[in-house]
Amino acid sequence: MKSWNDTLHLEFLLLGLEEDPELQPLIFGLFLSMYLITVLGNLLIILAVISDSHLHTPMYFFLSNLSFVDICFTSTTIPKMLVNIQTQSKAITYEGCITQIHFFVLFVVLDDFLLTVMAYDRYMAICHPLHYMVIMNRRLCGLLVLVSWLVSCLHAILQSLMVLCLSFCTDMEIPHFFCELNQVIKCACSDTFLNEVVIYFAAVLLAGGPLIGILYTYCKIVSSIRAISSAQGKYKAFSTCVSHLSVVSLFYGTGLGVYLSSAVTQNTHSIATASVMYTVVTPMLNPFIYSLRNKDIKRALRRL
């Protein structure tokens, strides 16, 4: 087993999505474009919410936080990938890999929690409209976001520390475009049983729990919408949930698809390509989903 100093000098090799040198400029241009669109789109959402007093409501407060997290989420992986393509290098240092794991886990869990909080916000707005502004006050909204950050940070620290406890015997190849937690653990030459148990337990608790909560709130929302007598009232109530439902479906659909497929197939190249959907495409599409059907956001963006 290598010493701690030897471990610090390890390098991991990120094999990326495609090894063909002729396709590298195309991949670079595609991912750079998607990254810039993601940052610009989410930044515009944040600025629109800040600048327009009509958007100083719980729903848009949570939306601006989600946009900020999406910017950080993509910034954790894409810039390093672009640098590697530009320099024609696949290497990432041991410290860089651990850092990438930490922030990736942090922001993916935080994304999950914020989507759950937004579902709860829609539940309160539709099922308890008369008490909505009293219950969803600034203190509660801030507390919900703060708890989401704290739990996500603690979980990311736990996963990072458990990876730090592993030993890596040689420079390892990771069949991905970033240091994905499961792939890094597979490279370890020490026992990883405890790491795998913690990962699966956390997946059930921090991904399955919020998903069940979202499904439960939308069951209640559907019941409340069905009880509305007028068709116009039903449409108005449902239209406030369409954007959030679309983002939830995209996020969970692609994320679960990747990890379920990884359990039944050993084709790591296909898994890496599919993971682009929830790591890059979903954060890029979120601003469009929330703005195209939202008159308030459109008005704020025009003013901006």
Q: What is the mean pLDDT of the chain?
A: 87
pLDDT in tens, 23-72: 888 989 999 999 999 999 999 999 999 998 889 999 999 999 999 999 99
Q: Which two tokens stand for residue 54?
A: 């009509």
Min mean pLDDT across 2-11, 34-43, 77-86 is at: 2-11
Domains of the chain from N-terminus onward: 4-303 (1.20.1070.10)
Q: Can you give the pLDDT at residue 268?
A: 66
Q: Can you give the pLDDT at residue 2?
A: 47
Amino acid at site 219: C
Kindly tell me the sign of the dihedral angle through the C-alpha atoms of 198, 217, 120, 300.
positive
CA 42 vs. chain centroid, Å, equals 13
Min mean pLDDT across 86-95, 196-205, 219-228, 237-246 is at: 237-246
Mean pLDDT of 201-220: 92
Min mean pLDDT across 57-61, 78-82, 145-149, 231-235 is at: 231-235
φ, ψ of residue 137 in degrees (nearest 5): -85, 175
- Identify whether the C-beta of residue 176 lies closer than 8 Å to the C-beta of residue 166: no
Total number of residues shown for the chain: 304
pLDDT at 133 over 70: yes
Instruction: Write out the DSSP string of 62-114.
Output: HHHHHHHHHHHHHHHHHHHHHHHHHHT--EEEHHHHHHHHHHHHHHHHHHHHH
